[in-house]
Amino acid sequence: MIKYLLKYFGLFVLLVLLQEFFFSNIQLSGYLNPYVYILFVLMLPLNTPRWIMLVTAFLLGLSVDLFANTLGFHAFATTLLAFIRPNIIALFSNRDDYNQGPVPTMAGFGLPWFLRYAGLCILIHHFTLFYLEAFTFHGFFFTFLRVILSSVFTLVIIVLSQLLFYKE
């Protein structure tokens, strides 16, 4: 148990630091903004109690907000992601999938499943985040283009991280 707590605490800190010092500096004409820190929420074990998931997601988003000075946008979007994550997993899984492993990784569940799961989670997170930032539907299509491009870019980075670090 302590081993898992240390692993996830280390992942939490690592992703916040990578987001702040590396990924937040990647911006191509305002269209590509990868938010890879949500990998933490995506990688929480399937049997994580919902309240723990919500609290850690809120703290994760708040940590990114403190560095980015974004008034709670990340905290809201990440907490929303943690709230709907069990429903997304249930949407794409059947009971046999839960025998694949306790953590929803690409190695354990397969590339097609992981792409659907992570892609939808990232899309929901980015949609919420970017429209909260814009706080208007004026320029809806510009913001929507940012959501799509940033989601695809974030998904590519997350899949690459899965290939590099989660070989089982």
The per-residue pLDDT for 99 is: 56
The per-residue pLDDT for 5 is: 81
- The SS3 call for residue 28 is strand
Question: Which residues, 6 or more positions from 125, have their beta carbon under 8 angstroms from its beta carbon?
Answer: 35, 38, 77, 78, 80, 81
Give the pLDDT confidence of 54-106 residue by residue, as tens digits.
999 999 999 999 999 888 999 999 999 999 999 999 998 876 555 556 888 88
> Please, are residues 22 and 34 in contact by the beta-carbon 8 Å criterion?
no
Token digits of residue 63 = 């940590």
Cα end-to-end distance, the chain, whole Å: 20
Q: What is the mean pLDDT of the chain?
A: 89
Place 150 in a pLDDT band, splitting at 50, 70 and 90.
very high
Domains identified in the chain, total number: 1
Token digits of residue 114 = 């992981």
Q: Which domain holds residue 106?
A: 2-165
